[in-house]
Amino acid sequence: MRVWFLSAGLALMCMVQNAAAGTVLIVGDSISAAFGLDTRQGWVSLLEQRLKAEGFDDKVINASISGDTSAGGLARLPTLLAAHKPELVILELGGNDGLRGQPPTQLQQNLAAMIDSSRASGAKVLLLGMQLPPNYGRRYTEAFAKVYSTLADEKQVPLVPFFLKDVGGVPGMMQGDGLHPSVAAQGKLLENVWPTLKPLL
């Protein structure tokens, strides 16, 4: 009888663990797709390793596509939500919108719609903020950066103010094109995200 109770207890513990395990869906662009690198070197792969090391069973789905915009992410999101049923959606989009000079108001609308859709599916949302180089002009760069803080306030979503903090423009942290983080920067990207991400798991 004792053996039966022990076996049942272990089975119950496994069930509880599996029930607690969730899916983290990352919808991003080339930064999260590890453009120019082996994907095993990217920050998303490092996140998977961190989760395992800290005892989390969450599965990570990286749905990031190089060159994607907020409009592209918005178009792809319904299928991704239906397929993966994530508990947490990380939105890492907007950089390509800015580099193409698209209106910040459109970026804000697209990200707002993605936040609403993710929440409607039952998922939490984490927003990763971006900033543009100063050569895009003060007025545009400020309006672009403000999109993320405005959304965080209006939608009450956790925000990493600048995903590329201590990476963008830092020698050795960017690849030769000056746009994409290097291998050396991937751990820093994870550290920029982790303090805000961990409480959501």
Residue 20: band (very low, low, confident or very high) from pLDDT cuts 50, 70, 90: low
Query: Residue 126: beta bridge partners?
Result: 90
Distance CA 98, CA 194 (A): 25
Distances (CA, A) of 39 to 47, 107, 200: 12, 27, 24
pLDDT at position 19: 40
Give the active site residue among 68, 97, 118, 180: 180
**pTM greater than the 0.85 cutoff:** yes
Cross-strand partners of 160: 128
Does 7 have pLDDT greater than 80?
no
Top-confidence residue, 164 or 12 = 164
- pLDDT category, 100, cuts 50, 70, 90? very high
- Whether 180 is catalytic: yes
The model's pLDDT over 155-170, given as tens digits with 9 standing for 90+, comes to 999 999 999 999 999 9
> Which residue in this structure is represented by tokens 């007025």?
139
Hey, CA dihedral for 109, 111, 117, 122, is it positive or negative?
negative
Of all residues in the chain, the percent with pLDDT exceeding 90 is 89
Percent of the chain surpassing pLDDT 70? 90
Give the model's pLDDT for residue 21.
76
Domains of the chain: 23-200 (3.40.50.1110)
Distance CA 102, CA 150 (A): 18
User: 120: which residues sit within 8 A by CB, 6+ positions away?
Assistant: none
Catalytic residue check, 84: no
Beta strands in the chain (DSSP E): 23-28, 59-62, 88-92, 124-128, 159-160
Q: Mean per-residue pLDDT for 126-144?
A: 96
Does residue 140 register a pLDDT over 90?
A: yes
Catalytic residue among 29, 30, 64, 121: 30
